[in-house]
Amino acid sequence: MLFNRRRASSIARHLLAAILATTTISACTAFIHETLEVDSAAVDNARKIGAVVLHTKSEYTYKNSTQIDEILVMDVGASDSEEAAVEARARLLRQGWAELGAGLVESRKWRHIIVSFDSLDGLEAYGATLKAEIEGAVRAASMEADKLVIVDLAPME
């Protein structure tokens, strides 16, 4: 078989185009930003476990993704914050959520949603802006902070 300059040139062009396309695609994926959010139906389900004093969101950005947590400050009829966390967790479990361990629950129905429970004593972990918003809502509702629970629904990948 003789060397065919036209065929060799065509193969080289296709090879170069394939390399260029692969490089472009891999470079573009480095700039894709992903946003993780909780399904609104999961939030509606969680709201059923008690009286909602405040519903807000908290955003966390890391590298190329943003996670948007749904924060519910709730009254579940408890006498203190520890009992409130236990009761909120138990009510979600009765609604079909699954125990994950370390006091966390996860959704069986909605993928990749993990719920944690906190007292209002640890508001510093939520940042100054969210802390002020929660404190303001508790004051406006004339609620006792030590009887409330923070139900934090977090989307996970």
Predicted pLDDT at 150? 95
Which amino acid is residue 121, in one-letter code? D
Give the whole-angstrom CA distance, residue 113 versus residue 154: 6
* Tens digits of residue pLDDT in 69-88: 999 999 999 999 999 999 99
11, two tokens: 């193969």
Chain centroid to CA 104: how far? 14
What percent of the chain has a predicted confidence (pLDDT) above 90? 59
Chain centroid to CA 107: how far? 12
Q: Is 153 helix (H, G, I), strand (E, B) or coil?
A: strand
Residues 6 or more apart in contact with residue 88 via CB below 8 angstroms: 49, 50, 74, 76, 117, 149, 151
Predicted pLDDT at 21? 47
Low-confidence ranges of the chain (pLDDT < 70): 1-30
Residue 152's Cβ-side half-sphere holds a number of Cα atoms within 13 Å equal to 21
Predicted pLDDT at 117? 95
